[in-house]
Structure formats: C-alpha cells, structure tokens
C-alpha cells in the first residue's frame, strides 16, 4: 500500500504521475477486499468506482467543488482518498459509516442512502452557488447502481436542464445494476448507449454488408444514409439527454483513467449542466465478485477474502427466507398472486417466486411510489399484488398507499423486510417509521409476526383480504425459535398467563408484545416474576386495528406495558393508549419503543441496549412503576427490594 498510505487528502493525488495511478487503483482494490471481508459491507459497488473516484478527485477540488454520491454506498473509495483509511470498525459502533457522513469529513456533503435523491440536492447546490456568486465552483453528482430508475432523479433532471449556466456535472455510473441487474426502459436505453460503437462505424458496417446484397443493397443503404438524424437517434440515443437540454459526453470507459480525466475536464469547463456517462463493472478486480451473477457482491457479510465464501453461516433460517418459501407456496395455490419489488428482488426474497412464476413478478426499479400505484392497478383488475420492500423504503410511497390503495379499498399486501432496528447500515436503514406511518391510513390492517410460523400464517391471512391494504412486517436476520401460545383472547395470542394477581386483577402487568419483541417481552416477564410481579403476555398479531378485546383485558390488570421495535411517536403503544381512552379504561400505560431520533450505526443488540429496549432495562422501569403505584395504593403487588 505504498501509494495509498501517502494519500491523506484529494490534493495528494496531484503529486502522483499518470503512470502511478493504475498502481494506486490496484492498491485500493486490494485494500477493499482485505478490509471489507473482515467487517462486511458494500463491496461490489466500490470495486467498480475506483478509477472513477480517483479521476473525479484529480479533476475537481473537493470540498470547494461538491462531490455527491447516489447512492452513498459507493463512497468507500471517496473515504480512502479523503483521509479515512481505518476500515477496521466499518459499520460498527465508533467506526466509519457505510455511507457518507458529515460528522466524518468536510468532503461528505450529504448522507443519502435512499436512492435517487442526489440530483435534487445537486440542483439546489448549483442554484445556491449561482445566487451566492460562486461561479468558479462545480457541483458533481455521481448517480448509479440503479438510482436513475427513480422518478425523483428525472424530476430533478427536468429542473437542472432549465438553467444553461449553472456548473453541474452529472456522472452516470452505469454498471448495469442496482442490487441485481437493473431493469426497465432506462436500463435498456443505457444498454443501447453501452453497446453503441458510433454512427459512422454503423454506417461502415452497413455499407459493407448491404452493398454485398444483390439488387436491394445499394438503394437500401442510401435510404438509411439519408435518414441520418433518425438513424443516429436510434443507434446512439444520447439524444434523449440532449433533448432535455443537457450536454452529453460518453459513453466513457469507467476504468480508463486517461479517458475519465479528459471527459471530466471537458465537463468542468463547459460551465453548464453536463452528463458524463461512464461504463463500469461492479465487483471489478475481485474474481469472486465478478463471477457472482446474483449481485456481484453488492453487500457482503464477513467473508474469506480469497474465496468470497462466508466465514460462518447465520445458524438458522432468516425471516426473508421464510417469506420467500411461503410466497412460492402461495403462488402455487393461487394464480392471482403477483409479486412486486423495487430493485431488490434477491434482498427481499422474491427471487424464488420469480424463478417459479416468471410472468407474475415485476421489478419496477428504485421506484417505490410506482410500485404502490402499479399494485393498485393490478388489484383493480382482480389480482392480489404482494409488494415487498425494506420497511424504511415504504416511507417513500406513503401517499400512494394512502390515496391510491387504501382510498380505493384495494387488496394489496405490503411486506416489509428489515423492520425495526437493523443496526449496521445506520439511521436511514432502521425500519422504525413504518407502523407509525401506517397507523394513519384508514382501514389498513397491519400484522407483526413474532416467529416463522406466524409469518407464514399472517401472510396467508393478509392475502385473503381483498377490500383493504394489508401490511406484514418483520425483522432482519435469523428467526428465533417458535414461541407457542396458550390460548387466545379475541384475536390475541396469550404467550404467558400468571395465576390471578392481587386485588382481583388477572395479573399485575399486561405486557403487549409486538412482533419480534415477543421474546424480549417473555424475558421481561421472567425478570418481573423474580421481583414478585405477576404478568400476562399477549401477542396481538394484528396490531392495526387494535384488537377489540384489548381494552377489556387491560382493565383486568394494574399496569399495561407495550414493547415494539418502532418509533414511540404514533406507534402501537400510542394506538393502544388511544383505544383505552376511547373505551374509558383508566389503567396506567407505559410504552417502550424506539425514541424519535436518528440512531448511529452499531449492532442491533448494542442499539437496543442503548435505547433501553431490552428486557433488563424494561423490567427495571416496570418494577419502579409498579412500586410507585403500589405505594399509592393502585397496585397491591409485593415488590421485593
């Protein structure tokens, strides 16, 4: 790493000769494979942008020139070139973020890890430069890994093209992929650009081929030659960008440093909006990634650096795998079931369904809003769409869930993977908003399975609903053991029922366990029992609407406790509190959930401990509450010191 260790900031690149730059690129790739294999992270995207990032930092002067990445997971090389070369705690507590982080460096302008936003930021920054008289500064927006499939990107392009004198360089990192191969009309357009050898070379081929064709060859060639403008747009459709008013440069070999620097220098000197189209290879330089057709090692766990194989297995079935298997079974039983995802076919578990029923799967690209409205159209026609996305990405489709699905009383099921605290990907990827947001939607029904059996059962219950939107949300990682119920009260599963508590109460505390927090609720009940506090633990299964039997059950207890891995504001606890008030049940309620703040990256367990959402912390607070109420005469439990 003789060259890389000499780079402490972008201007250190100026001291390297052109002949040294390929060696630096090789060192960076070696570093990435060695370091990311130890921690996990977004490996494939960063292997693909090594030369591109070097070239950008040689041509532009960051942070004076603003360099933005979309999505931010392709910024590891940028981190290295801006002085952050300790990757030992990447995505871990106290270490580097897996995305740009303004707390880490002045070179990180935005912290976007939800795709398709960068061009909007760039438009605003370029406008600000113009208003503030910074005419010698350029905004550089790197957009790739499928982000151009998002509608927001095209809304921004429409605005960017409106100003001819704002220096703004749009670098299209075209690696043919988002997580998996990028699909859609734009992908086909870029593929055409990718394979274009140029209009004149096409004519040369046409002349040679057609003139060898008897009788019709020469007249046909002359006809094609006469149709130059239309033919050029067909063969080299960069005209689509130019028709928007954007200067287009490319396609450029994204691994040719000389070509990249030349193109970027020309773009910088233009003085207005320019698109530089770069062709890159995701996973480049790492054989294991290059040979991985699924996602080119888009994101990896801890792997063996030489083979790319996982160091250790997860040790059991994960939530996504359970959903994947059940979707295939449902597809076999019901021909009206169709799957929709937003550029995440493999991550959300719809790949097996796609393989089994290729005509019934729709990957819409990074376009969650379109996914929801398209699902509404499918449901209107009598099908039952299952839209599978990460929980945090459903935020982007709220209006469509509300106005296009729920308002029309359509049977669409939204399956939310990675709900709750996910940890290592940081604030943007914790799925802590979905239940709060969905609680606002009239008639929507929301299920939170506690284990694999319940996921299977509740998914089946959800797709039976044909007159309302349904949501099934579950956590990330390995599914724990099955948690049995010992009966039902209303639609709620009873997971633990103590002997009758004091003063005629069924038990001192009613614990309402939401989804994957059921195990935490049971552990909390054990800790309370050690303090002489009896408890009933129920899993409502469907947390929206609040079960009609819950207020009556709450009235039979001295305290109600809710535990959910969702934001406390507007979450399940809030909904239950409202239901108790509406029913006139005046029982103290304590809701435990995620505070409404952006959480730094760390492991799930570390975050849960920090925010007091584990059994010991919950039990301590409940014990104190019961003791306070006991001293006031509200609860008569015998609390040990």
Angle between helices 50-59 and 257-270 (to 10 degrees): 40
Spot the catalytic one: 58, 91, 282, 541. Answer: 282
Sequence-ordered list of residues with C-beta below 8 angstroms from that of 114, at least 6 positions apart, any chain: 71, 392, 393, 396, 428
Cα–Cα dist 55/558, whole Å: 66
Closest by CA to 434, choosing from 464, 379, 479, 475, is 475
Residue 13 C-beta-side C-alpha neighbours within 13 Å: 27
Neighbours of 19 (CB within 10 A): 7
Cβ proximity of 470 and 448 under 8 Å: no
Task: Indicate the SS3 state at residue 144.
Answer: strand
396 belongs to the catalytic site = yes
Distance CA(518)–CA(491), nearest Å, equals 16
- Angle CA 443–447–451, to nearest 5: 175
Count of all residues that appear for the chain in the document = 641
What SS3 state is found at 590?
strand
Select which of 360, 368, 544, 568 is catalytic.
368
Tokens found for residue 209: 């081929």
State the Cα–Cα distance between residues 169 and 167, nearest whole angstrom.
Answer: 7
Tokens of 358: 């290729």
DSSP H helical segments within 413-532, as ranges? 434-438, 452-463, 518-530
Q: How far is CA 439 from CA 7, 203, 561, 598, in A?
A: 50, 60, 19, 20
Residue 106: is it exposed, middle or buried by C-beta count within 10 angstroms (0-12/13-18/19+)? exposed
Is 368 in the active site? Answer: yes
In the set 396, 418, 473, 476, the catalytic residue is: 396
Q: Is 282 one of the annotated active-site residues of the chain?
A: yes
The residues that are catalytic are 282, 368, 396
């Amino acid at each position: 790493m003789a060259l890389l260790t000499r780079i402490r900031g972008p201007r250190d690149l100026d001291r390297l000769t052109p002949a040294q730059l390929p060696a630096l690129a090789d060192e960076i790739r070696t570093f990435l494979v060695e370091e990311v294999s130890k921690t996990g992270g977004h490996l494939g995207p960063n292997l693909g942008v090594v030369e591109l990032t070097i070239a950008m930092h040689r041509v532009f002067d960051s942070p004076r020139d603003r360099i933005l990445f979309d999505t931010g997971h392709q910024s590891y090389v940028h981190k290295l070139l801006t002085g952050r070369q300790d990757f030992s705690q990447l995505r871990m507590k106290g270490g580097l973020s897996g995305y740009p982080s303004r707390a880490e460096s002045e070179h990180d302008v935005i912290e976007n890890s939800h795709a398709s936003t960068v061009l909007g930021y760039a438009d605003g920054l370029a406008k600000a430069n113009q208003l503030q008289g910074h005419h010698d500064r350029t905004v550089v927006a790197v957009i790739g890994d499928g982000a151009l499939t998002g509608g927001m990107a095209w809304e921004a392009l429409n605005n960017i093209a409106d100003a001819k004198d704002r220096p703004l360089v749009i670098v299209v990192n075209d690696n043919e992929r988002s997580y998996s191969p990028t699909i859609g009309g734009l992908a086909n357009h870029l593929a055409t650009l990718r394979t274009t050898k140029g209009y004149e070379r096409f004519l040369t081929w046409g002349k040679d081929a057609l003139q060898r064709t008897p009788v019709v060859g020469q007249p046909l060639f002359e006809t094609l030659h006469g149709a130059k403008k239309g033919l050029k747009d067909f063969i080299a459709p960069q005209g689509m960008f130019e028709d928007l008013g954007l200067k287009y440069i490319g396609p450029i070999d994204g691994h040719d440093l000389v070509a990249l620097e030349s193109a970027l220098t020309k773009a910088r000197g233009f003085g207005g909006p320019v698109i530089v189209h770069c062709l890159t290879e995701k996973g480049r330089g790492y054989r294991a990634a290059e040979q991985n057709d699924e996602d080119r090692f888009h994101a990896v766990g801890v792997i063996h650096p030489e083979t790319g194989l996982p160091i250790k297995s997860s040790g059991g079935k994960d939530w996504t795998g359970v959903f994947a298997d059940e979707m295939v079974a449902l597809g076999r039983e019901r021909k009206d079931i169709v799957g929709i995802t937003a550029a995440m076919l493999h991550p959300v578990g719809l790949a097996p369904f796609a393989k089994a029923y290729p005509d019934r799967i729709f990957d819409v690209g990074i376009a969650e809003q379109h996914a929801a409205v398209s699902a509404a159209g499918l449901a209107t026609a009598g099908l039952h769409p299952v839209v599978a996305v990460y929980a945090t990405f459903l935020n982007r489709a709220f209006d469509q869930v509300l106005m296009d699905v729920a308002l029309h009383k359509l049977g669409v099921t939204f399956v939310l993977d990675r709900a709750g605290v996910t940890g290592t990907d940081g604030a943007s990827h914790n799925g802590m908003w979905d239940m709060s947001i969905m609680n606002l939607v009239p008639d929507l029904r929301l299920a939170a399975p506690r284990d694999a059996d319940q996921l299977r059962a509740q998914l089946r219950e959800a797709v039976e609903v044909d007159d309302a939107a349904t949501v099934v949300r579950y956590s990330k990682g390995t599914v724990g053991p099955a948690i049995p119920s010992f009966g039902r009260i209303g639609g709620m599963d009873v997971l633990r029922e103590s002997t009758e508590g004091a003063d005629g109460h069924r038990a001192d505390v009613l614990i309402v366990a939401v989804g994957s927090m059921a195990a935490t609720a049971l552990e909390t009940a054990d800790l309370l029992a050690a303090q002489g506090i009896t408890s009933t633990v129920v899993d409502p299964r469907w947390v929206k609407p609040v079960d009609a039997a819950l207020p009556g059950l709450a009235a039979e207890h001295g305290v109600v406790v809710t535990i959910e891995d969702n934001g406390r504001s507007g979450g399940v606890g809030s909904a239950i509190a409202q239901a108790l008030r509406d029913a006139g049940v005046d029982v103290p309620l304590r809701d435990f959930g995620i505070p409404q703040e952006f959480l730094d990256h760390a492991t799930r367990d570390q975050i849960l401990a920090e925010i007091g959402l584990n059994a010991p912390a919950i039990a301590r607070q409940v014990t104190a509450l019961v003791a306070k109420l006991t001293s006031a005469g509200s609860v008569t439990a015998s609390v040990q010191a």
